[in-house]
Amino acid sequence: MLDDMRQAKRPVSVALTGPYGHPFHPILVTVPIGAWLASVVFDIGSHIADEPVFLARGAQWLIAIGVLGALAAAAVGFLDLFAIPTGTPAFRIGLVHMGLNLAVTAAFALDFWWRASATGVEGAVPTGPLTLSIIAVAALALSGYLGGELAYHYGVRVADETTQAAGYRR
């Protein structure tokens, strides 16, 4: 069991996933999360503002930025998943986390296409794309919870307790 825990804390590739105790995945996920949350705020704002087109177009750009950022985060996260021993609760949570994130990314890619194909629509974001964005953000929240479970409960890619304790020595 201790060997499994040590394996889940070590990177598959330092150059690609970050050094021991400093994984790249958590910092990369801030791009899609922030972009997609902001896109929903822009979507809602497009229903309130006097000039909704600016916010609707901004939301579409934020969705595109989020999809691109998610692809980068997914590549690194996939490599982190390889560090977790198969057949463990942490690995199963990692698979669900990955599956949800891929579904969310696909939903936002579809959302971007849906908006882009709605030529001639000038005004607030239509109800369909807005609803899709809200559902995708809800799934993203669940996936984020699972990612936190991996890091904070199971310690995946987190430095071991002896390394952590060094920060509290006087």
**For the domain that residue 72 is a member of, what is the CATH number?**
1.20.120
What does the pLDDT average to over 4-15? 68
Q: Is residue 167 part of a domain?
A: no
- Whether 83 shows a pLDDT value over 70: the answer reads yes
Residue 110 Cα distances to 50, 87, 103, angstroms? 27, 33, 10
Q: Is residue 12 part of a domain?
A: yes
Q: Which domain holds residue 64?
A: 2-160
Q: Spell out a b/e string for 109-136, using b for 16 or more CB atoms within 10 Å of the CB, else e.
A: bebbeebeeeeeeeebbeeebbebbeeb
Q: What is the DSSP letter of 102?
A: H
What does the pLDDT average to over 34-44? 98
What does the pLDDT average to over 73-98? 94
What does the pLDDT average to over 61-70? 98
Domain count, the chain: 1
Q: Is residue 170 part of a domain?
A: no
Predicted confidence band at 1 (pLDDT cuts at 50, 70, 90)?
A: low
Q: Is residue 72 part of a domain?
A: yes
Max distance between CA atoms of the chain, in angstroms, equals 66
Q: Is residue 168 part of a domain?
A: no
Q: Is residue 133 part of a domain?
A: yes
Q: Per mean pLDDT, which range of 2-11, 27-36, 152-161 is the poorest?
A: 2-11
- Whether 119 shows a pLDDT value over 70: the answer reads no
User: 120's torsion region: left (phi>0), alpha (psi -120 to 50) or beta?
Assistant: left
- Whether 14 shows a pLDDT value over 80: the answer reads no
Predicted confidence band at 18 (pLDDT cuts at 50, 70, 90)?
A: confident
Tell me what percent of the residues of the chain surpass a pLDDT of 90. Answer: 68
pLDDT for the residue numbered 123: 86
Q: Is residue 165 part of a domain?
A: no
If you search the block for the tokens 């394996």, which residue do you land on?
7
pTM (2 d.p.): 0.88
Q: Is residue 115 part of a domain?
A: yes
Q: Tell me which range, 16-25, 123-132, 138-147, is most confidently predicted by mean pLDDT.
A: 138-147
